[in-house]
Structure 1
Amino acid sequence: MSSQDWLSQGTLVLASNNKGKIAEFEKLFAELNLPVEVVAQGKLNIEDAIEDGLSFVENAIIKARHASRISGKPAIADDSGICVPVLGGAPGIYSARYAGEHGDDAANNTKLLSDLKPLRKDGEAIEAMFVCVLALVQHVDDPLPQIFQGIWKGEVLEQARGENGFGYDPLFWLPELNISSAEMSKEDKNKISHRGQAMKLFKQSIAQ
C-alpha cells in the first residue's frame, strides 16, 4: 500500500470539532488544492474521541483512528497546545481543558496567567511554544500513521493582547514581530504558526 493511497479515496475526514481549528484548517487545505474533499467530523456526526494518550503524537493518532473507524474513510487529526518550560511543559496536552472545562478559552488563559504569576521575574521573559502534531491514517488499522510536527516559539504575556485567533493566542507573544498571535491576520499566522508548519510538511509529503 502506498503512503498516498488516501488521495484516491475522495474524502479525507478532519478529526476535530473545534471551530477555531476547523476554520484555520479550511484555509490551509484550500491553499493545497487537494484532489479530495476535506470534511470535518462533526458533519458526519462523529463526536470527539477520548484523548487518553500521554503525548501530542498519541492523542493525534487516537483522534485520527476514531474518526476513521466511524467514517470508514482516511482521517487526519491535529493535537496541539501550548507548552511552558517553567511549568514542566504544562499545559501541554491538557491545553484545551487546563482550567477544567474543555474549550473554555477565557478560563484556560486566566489559569495560565495565575500559575505563572509567582514565577515571573522583572525583565525576564517566560518562554513558551505552541506545538502541533498532525496524524494521518489511511484506515483505522493503519500500522504506519504519517506524522507531521510543527513548533512555534514565543513568550507568554502578562495580559491578553489582540482579538484574533483562539485558545492561548492572546497570551502568545512574538518578540521578533512585536505582536501577539491574536494580533495577526489568519493569513500571516498560517504562514508561520505551529499548525502552518505542520501543514507545510504534510504538503511536502504529498509532492513526493
Structure 2
Amino acid sequence: MTTFVLATHNAGKLAELRRILGDRLGPHELVGYDGPAPVEDGDTFEANALIKARAAAAFTGLPALADDSGIAVDALGGAPGIFSARYSQLAGGEKSDAANNAHLLASLEGVSDRTARFVCVAALADGGFEHLERGEWPGRVLTAPVGENGHGYDPVFAGEGEQRSSAQMTMAEKNAVSHRARAFGQLVEFLRRRYG
C-alpha cells in the first residue's frame, strides 16, 4: 500500500477527491497536507500543479498529488486562467468567489461568445519522478449566477449540453463529468499502473 499526500490545505478539496477517486485508488491511501504552502509563481496550470506537488513531496517524503485549476474564457483570450482565484483582486476588488463571478460577468457584458472551459491539471511528484494529466470541461459562461452547490465559478458556468449551472448539479453529477474528475481519473489509472 502506498500513502499519497494531497498538496492542499483545503479540507473540502481532499473530501471531493476522495469522493471522485472512491475505490479506484485500491489499497492506497490519500492523506491531507499540513506543511508550508509554496509560492505558486508558474505561468501555466502545469507549472503551478508541479510546484505544489514537489513542495509536499519534499516536506513529507511521500509521493504527492496536487492540482491547479481555473476557468478559461475564449472571448477573454483564456483569462482568467491561472489567475482564476484572484481575478477580482487583480482588478482592485476583493478576493472572493462572489467578487470573481461578478468581475467575470462584467468582463463579458455585451459579449455574445461565452464559450469557456474549466481546466484542471493533476500532478504527481515522487522523488525525481513527475507525471501530469490534464482534464477540461467545456461549456459556457452564463449571464447571471444561479445555484447553491459547488464553489468558485460553478454558479456562472454550464457544461456543454447542460441547461443548469454546475452549481445546480448534485455533487455526484458534477464529480462524474468535471475537469477535476477527468484529470484525476486519468491520474489514478496511471497510479494504478505505477504503484499496483
The answer for the alignment partner of 2:186 in structure 1 is 201
Is there any run of 5+ residues in structure 1 with no aligned partner, and where? Answer: 1-7
Kindly indicate whether the alpha-carbon contact (under 8 Å) linking 2:45 and 2:121 is maintained by their aligned counterparts in 1.
Answer: yes
Secondary structure of 1:179's match? Answer: coil
Aligned length: 190
What per-residue deviation string (whole Å, max 9, x for no partner) do you get for residues 121-167 of structure 1? xxx3400000000010112xx2x411111010000011101111110
Kindly indicate whether the alpha-carbon contact (under 8 Å) linking 2:137 and 2:178 is maintained by their aligned counterparts in 1.
Answer: yes
Secondary structure of 1:80's match? Answer: strand
Structure 1 vs Structure 2: percent identity of aligned residues? 44
The answer for the alignment partner of 2:168 in structure 1 is 183
Following the alignment from structure 1 to structure 2, what is the Cα–Cα distance between the partners of residues 102 and 77? 26
Secondary structure of 1:182's match? Answer: coil
Following the alignment from structure 1 to structure 2, what is the Cα–Cα distance between the partners of residues 77 and 103? 22
CA drift of 1:94 comes to: 0.7
Kindly indicate whether the alpha-carbon contact (under 8 Å) linking 1:20 and 1:165 is maintained by their aligned counterparts in 2.
Answer: no
The answer for the alignment partner of 2:82 in structure 1 is 93
1:11 to 2:10 alignment: no
The answer for the alignment partner of 1:110 in structure 2 is 102
Is there any run of 5+ residues in structure 2 with no aligned partner, and where? Answer: none
Matching residue's letter, 1:75: A
Secondary structure of 1:135's match? Answer: strand
CA drift of 1:202 comes to: 1.5
The answer for the alignment partner of 2:72 in structure 1 is 83
Matching residue's letter, 1:156: V
What RMSD over aligned residues (CA atoms) do the two structures have, in Å?
1.8
Kindly indicate whether the alpha-carbon contact (under 8 Å) linking 2:66 and 2:123 is maintained by their aligned counterparts in 1.
Answer: yes
The answer for the alignment partner of 1:56 in structure 2 is 45
Following the alignment from structure 1 to structure 2, what is the Cα–Cα distance between the partners of residues 167 and 103? 11
With normalisation by structure 1, the TM-score equals 0.85
Kindly indicate whether the alpha-carbon contact (under 8 Å) linking 2:25 and 2:192 is maintained by their aligned counterparts in 1.
Answer: no
Closer, same or farther: CA 175–195 of 1 in aligned 2, 3 Å: closer
Secondary structure of 2:88's match? Answer: coil
1:171 aligned to 156, 169, 177, which one? Answer: 156
Secondary structure of 2:108's match? Answer: helix
